[in-house]
Amino acid sequence: MSTAMAHALNEGLRSVMEEDPKVLLIGEDIGRLGGVFRVTDGLQKDFGDARVVDSPLGEAGIVGSAIGLAMAGYRPVCEIQFDGFVFPAMNQIITQLAKYRHRSEGTVTLPVVIRIPVGGGIGAIEHHSESPEAYFAHTAGLRVVSPSSAQEAYDLIRMAVRSDDPVIFLEPKHNYWLKGEIDRAATPAPFGSAQVVRPGDDLTLVTYGALVPTAVKVAAAAAEDGRSVEVIDLRSLSPIDDATIFASVERTGRLVVAHEASQTAGLGAEIAARVQDAMFYSLEAPVIRVTGYDTPYPASRLEGDWLPGLDRILDAIDRSFTY
């Protein structure tokens, strides 16, 4: 049966709560309401309000409480209601959560998952459509992942909760209600690995999260022009799976990176630098980035122009083939 990503996350959380009584959830309106996007719907009813905790409005307190719970042996999963609300908790995340394992020389682990709905495309107001992944990927000590489908959401949330490292779990809100089949018996790809979602021979298109379905449409459109585009879904933004990207670029010789976040100092810049350092003699053209603009996220009526779409990515592919 086809399942929406939001429901896949709910199912994944339910399964890890059933297998480990130390897993608990904490966040604003996640209990009785079931979360703004209903990802935790029904979990408080089934597991009680001691394991699905409706917190006061205060993101620094949510993450700080999770750090203390993790030190006491629990595996907390925090929910931040919207991407723009995570910034009050950044001090807790960067100063404490990311560093404690190193600070304690490995004697104290903090298995905390911070779930954050990210990105645009739903017509939300200011502070509700941010793409903060580069801040987290820049912070050593954090794992950063972002699913693009129901299957990945189910697999990644289970792996994130089981991880002994803190995980920033970025959920593309534009994809919450995209449906897909889930194979619950499948062996998921290892944590920290990318996936080739459409093979190709002429150009590599790397993206993640909300833009993966768009990238697959781009590849289909490019095929009508006789160009075979390989689409790679990063899944893991920190660490980045260099090996999968390098192997693809070695065959295709061309690379386009697409993401919703602004261009300057974004993930695309990091991937471009790595590929041009390691794969310079394999490249037939410069690495091209297709991103959001270096401006604050616009009003909802303009987000269709701001976000990278099919036409802008196809244009980047055309530019790559002019070299």
Q: In CATH, what is the architecture of 195-321?
A: 3-Layer(aba) Sandwich (3.40)
CA distance 161 to 19: 11
Quote the pLDDT of residue 60: 96
Domain boundaries, the chain: 2-181, 195-321
Sign of the alpha-carbon torsion through 33, 172, 293, 88 = positive
Answer whether 2-181 and 195-321 agree in fold: yes
Quote the pLDDT of residue 208: 98
Q: How many residues does the chain have?
A: 323
- Residue 49: partners with Cβ closer than 8 Å, 6 or more residues away: 31
- Residue 220: partners with Cβ closer than 8 Å, 6 or more residues away: none
Quote the pLDDT of residue 15: 97
Quote the pLDDT of residue 156: 97
Cα–Cα distances (Å) from 69 to 83, 108, 147, 163, 192, in that order, read 23, 12, 26, 15, 25
pTM, full prediction: 0.97
Quote the pLDDT of residue 188: 87
CA distance 240 to 230: 17
Contact 241, 193 (CB under 8 A): yes
Catalytic positions, please?
Answer: 128
93 DSSP assignment: I
Quote the pLDDT of residue 30: 97
Question: Structure tokens of 11?
Answer: 């199912």
Question: For residue 197, how many other CB atoms are within 10 A of its CB?
Answer: 20
Question: Structure tokens of 148?
Answer: 């693009």
10-residue mean pLDDT profile of the chain (323 residues): values are 95 97 98 96 97 96 98 98 95 97 95 97 88 97 97 97 97 95 90 96 98 98 97 98 98 98 98 97 98 95 94 98 95
Quote the pLDDT of residue 126: 86
Helix (H, G, I), strand (E, B) or coil at 75: strand
Q: In CATH, what is the architecture of 2-181?
A: 3-Layer(aba) Sandwich (3.40)
Helices 5-19, 150-162: axis angle to 10 degrees equals 30
CA distance 320 to 323: 6
β 143-145/236-238 pair status: antiparallel
The helix (run of H) or strand (run of E) holding residue 215 is helix 212-224
Quote the pLDDT of residue 35: 96
Question: Structure tokens of 49?
Answer: 């309000």
φ/ψ (deg, to 5) at 245: -65, -45
